[in-house]
């Protein structure tokens, strides 16, 4: 006597050959490795996937509709929620779009504060990404190291803007607060301490044999595919495309700063594999340290916020502004009709593009490798759904 629903026909033979069927599995929406609430419908033959179809929308809050209701200044805290892992670039994208429409110039010191905050945000986002990637693959210790450093950076940012995750630091026209006294020295001291830790992290996990074997050669993406599927940021650069909005579509004070754009080279496997996407993030943290150092040294005096009317009404028009967020080229298509409320805001995010590619990437991968692919694409579910 079997349990209801579990009567399984164990074997069906046809012409002496064992007949098999594909399994259809639901992975998520609650799953420790999905980096938020998202779901995959996996069709697998044993351990090998035929395909994994992403099912998104669980975190859709219609942030774009909210923008139309809360006004230009009022929308700033909502931008934090687009990508809460790296909220500063979202702040910056929104501020820049509004400034572009109204023709506002941000004071130099304000721009430097923005870049410092954004680069710290990039480092702490990459720390979470590489830390959780190691954990997803089965190495739990590196995560604690990464999170420890992320906490120190949160402390630093908290001193600047009072928040540790959703910063609401920037304003249309600059930033809300100047750097506190003696913060510059503290930040420099922290960068001096942090940079050698990247080497330590490399020794701990980056070139670990098991880790490398789980990543190298897995789910490679060609440069042509990466562009056609709209991959951006470290995912695009992991495939060897040397493109960074900060360098190639320059904004803010990035043209005054020196930094390299690391790209994947397929050094341990195939160009554009999971390892390349991982190692690009590790190298970008070093570049961010370089940028922060230069900013802190060159920091000019003066105001941090331009004079912007409280009842902000940019002239009618539209613009498409791009910033390099931690997950890459983040686009803001903003339409103004000349009133105190934005007419339309569309946020183009890196995670939305990256997850759309999973169905193609998942063919013939092991189910366990899907976890590595999700982690290497650095998906953040609220950024997918907005």
Coil, strand, or helix at residue 62? coil
CB of 326 closer than 8 Å to CB of 86? yes
Q: Counting contacts by CB under 8 A, is residue 316 touching another protein?
A: no
Q: What is the nearest approach in angstroms of another protein to the Cβ of residue 299?
A: 28
How far apart CA 205 and CA 60 sit, in angstroms, is 35
- Beta pairing, strands 39-45 & 344-348: unpaired
Count the neighbouring beta carbons within 10 Å of the beta carbon of residue 64. Answer: 17
CB of 26 closer than 8 Å to CB of 41? yes
Q: Counting contacts by CB under 8 A, is residue 317 touching another protein?
A: yes
Among 27, 321, 372, 375, binds another protein (CB under 8 A): 321
Coil, strand, or helix at residue 260? coil
Instruction: Specify the residue, 269 or 331, whose C-beta has the smaller distance to another protein.
Output: 331
Among 57, 162, 300, 338, binds another protein (CB under 8 A): 57
Site string (207-236) toward another protein, x via CB under 8 A: --------------------xxxx------
How far apart CA 342 and CA 334 sit, in angstroms, is 7
Instruction: Specify the residue, 142 or 342, whose C-beta has the smaller distance to another protein.
Output: 342
How far apart CA 270 and CA 212 sit, in angstroms, is 12
- Asked if the bond preceding 153 is cis, omega within 30° of 0, the reply is no
CB of 201 closer than 8 Å to CB of 146? yes
Q: What is the nearest approach in angstroms of another protein to the Cβ of residue 68?
A: 8
Q: What is the nearest approach in angstroms of another protein to the Cβ of residue 76?
A: 20
Q: Counting contacts by CB under 8 A, is residue 344 touching another protein?
A: yes
Q: What is the nearest approach in angstroms of another protein to the Cβ of residue 120?
A: 26
Q: Which of these ranges, 4-12, 172-180, 204-212, 340-348, lies near another protein under the rule CB under 8 A?
A: 340-348
Q: Counting contacts by CB under 8 A, is residue 249 touching another protein?
A: yes
- Find, among 172, 176, 175, the residue nearest to 340 by Cα: 172
368, 371, 376, 380 alpha-carbon torsion, rounded to 10°: 170
Q: Which of these ranges, 59-67, 69-77, 133-141, 302-310, lies near another protein under the rule CB under 8 A?
A: 59-67
Q: Counting contacts by CB under 8 A, is residue 329 touching another protein?
A: yes
Which residues, 6+ apart, have CB-to-CB distance to 382 below 8 Å?
36, 59, 61, 81, 82, 83, 84
Count the neighbouring beta carbons within 10 Å of the beta carbon of residue 266. Answer: 17
Instruction: Specify the residue, 131 or 240, whose C-beta has the smaller distance to another protein.
Output: 240
How far apart CA 374 and CA 222 sit, in angstroms, is 17
Among 188, 271, 319, 366, binds another protein (CB under 8 A): 319
Q: Which of these ranges, 75-83, 123-131, 180-188, 318-326, lies near another protein under the rule CB under 8 A?
A: 318-326
Q: How many residues in the shown chain lie near another protein by CB under 8 A?
A: 36
Among 43, 303, 352, 366, binds another protein (CB under 8 A): 352
**Residue ranges that bind another protein, judged by CB under 8 A:** 56-57, 60, 62, 64-65, 100, 227-230, 241, 243, 248-249, 317-322, 329, 331, 333, 335, 343-344, 346, 348, 352-353, 356-357, 360, 385-386
């Amino acid at each position: 006597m079997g349990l209801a629903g579990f009567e399984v026909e164990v074997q069906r033979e046809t012409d002496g050959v064992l007949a098999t069927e594909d399994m259809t599995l639901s992975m998520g929406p609650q799953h420790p490795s999905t980096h938020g609430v998202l779901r995959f419908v996996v069709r697998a033959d044993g351990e090998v996937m035929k395909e994994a179809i992403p099912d998104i929308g669980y975190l859709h809050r219609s942030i774009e509709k909210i923008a139309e209701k809360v006004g230009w200044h009022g929308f700033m805290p909502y931008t934090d929620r687009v990508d809460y892992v790296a909220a500063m670039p979202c702040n910056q994208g929104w501020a820049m779009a509004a400034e572009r429409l109204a023709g506002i110039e941000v004071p130099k010191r304000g721009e430097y504060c923005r870049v410092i905050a954004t680069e710290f945000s990039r480092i702490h986002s990459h720390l979470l990404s590489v830390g959780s990637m190691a954990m997803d693959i089965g190495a739990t210790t590196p995560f604690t190291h990464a999170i420890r450093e992320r906490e120190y950076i949160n402390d630093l940012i908290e001193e600047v803007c009072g928040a540790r995750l959703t910063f609401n630091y920037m304003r249309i026209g600059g930033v809300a607060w100047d750097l506190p006294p003696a913060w510059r020295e503290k930040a420099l001291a922290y960068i001096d301490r942090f940079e050698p830790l990247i080497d330590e992290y490399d020794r701990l996990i980056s070139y670990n044999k098991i880790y490398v074997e789980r990543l190298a050669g897995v789910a490679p993406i060609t440069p042509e595919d990466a562009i056609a599927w709209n991959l951006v940021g470290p995912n695009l650069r992991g495939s060897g495309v040397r493109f960074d909005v900060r360098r190639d579509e320059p904004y803010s004070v990035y043209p005054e700063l020196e930094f390299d754009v690391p790209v994947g080279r397929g050094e341990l496997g195939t160009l554009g594999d999971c390892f390349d996407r991982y190692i690009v993030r590790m190298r970008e943290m070093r570049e961010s340290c370089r940028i922060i150092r230069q900013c802190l040294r060159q920091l000019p005096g003066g105001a941090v916020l331009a004079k912007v009317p409280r009842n902000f009404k940019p002239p009618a028009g539209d613009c498409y502004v791009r910033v390099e967020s931690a997950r890459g080229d983040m686009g803001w298509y903003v339409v103004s009709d000349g009133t105190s409320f934005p007419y339309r805001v569309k946020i183009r995010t890196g995670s939305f593009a990256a997850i759309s590619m999973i169905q193609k990437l998942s063919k013939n991968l092991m189910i366990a490798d899907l976890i590595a692919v999700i982690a290497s694409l650095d998906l953040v579910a609220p950024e997918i759904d907005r």
